[in-house]
Amino acid sequence: MGNWLAKRFAGGPVVPVLRFSGVIGQAGLGRKGLTLEDLNDSIERAFKTKKKAAVALSINSPGGSPVQSALIAARIRALAEEQDVPVYAFCEDVAASGGYWLACAADHIYAESASIVGSIGVISAGFGFTELIAKAGVERRVHTAGKSKAMLDPFSPEDPKDVERLTAIQEDVHEQFKDWIRERRGARLGEKANELFDGTFWTGRKAVELGLTDGVGNLHGVLREKFGEKVKLRQIKLARGWLQKRFGVNHGGEIASQVLATIEERAVWSRYGL
């Protein structure tokens, strides 16, 4: 066994690094954030890396779509279990809500002492414009087939029944989120695990005490400690097409749309003081 390991890691073990930075899912007005469709090739390339000792996730995300969070995390877990490879997650500025969901795809989670971690909850936010359009003399006309089709229309008075339906959906998604955290963190959460699921977020240092993370540390320091000074950290770059879709600016009306999308995305980050 010793000779096999020596040959396998000759010249130093390799740890491919996947970087997940940004809002998860649709970032606003058709602008894409992190989705499995765009990340799958990179995830597969990371797990196909030869002579790997582990796979590392570098996470800097305030959350977003619970569906995309679940899809990305499930893909990582499937490959990790298929290849029996440990996964390490490293939280940067923030790994909150869906960002923490992604972190829990790892077997071990680390964060900086001042990182923002947690926010295990579900949120839906919007605006109501009924008084505004009334003052402007605008008549709202909505025609539907299906009594709930116009649910939560921002230009109509809020219906308590609509809020009740939305709350039921949120609670369902919240339960799925909690089940995932319990599955991945298990006994590390301690006896007061349920107190962690109210949407509160903490610093990385406090997150260790609560069992949400396994220690304070950064990617380079922890992986060198685990695998030695000769460990090779191999960044797995995203496909160029994905970068173009995410950051490319086109002409015409798309520029205004991207400006608005950026404002909306910044609002998500600002929940955590960033």
State the catalytic residues: 97, 149
Which pair of structure tokens corresponds to residue 191?
């006896």
Which residue in 189, 148, 145, 181 sits closest to 165, CA to CA? 148
Which pair of structure tokens corresponds to residue 115?
């990182």
Which residues, at least 6 apart from 164, have a Cβ–Cβ distance to it below 8 Å? none
Chain centroid to CA 176: how far? Answer: 15
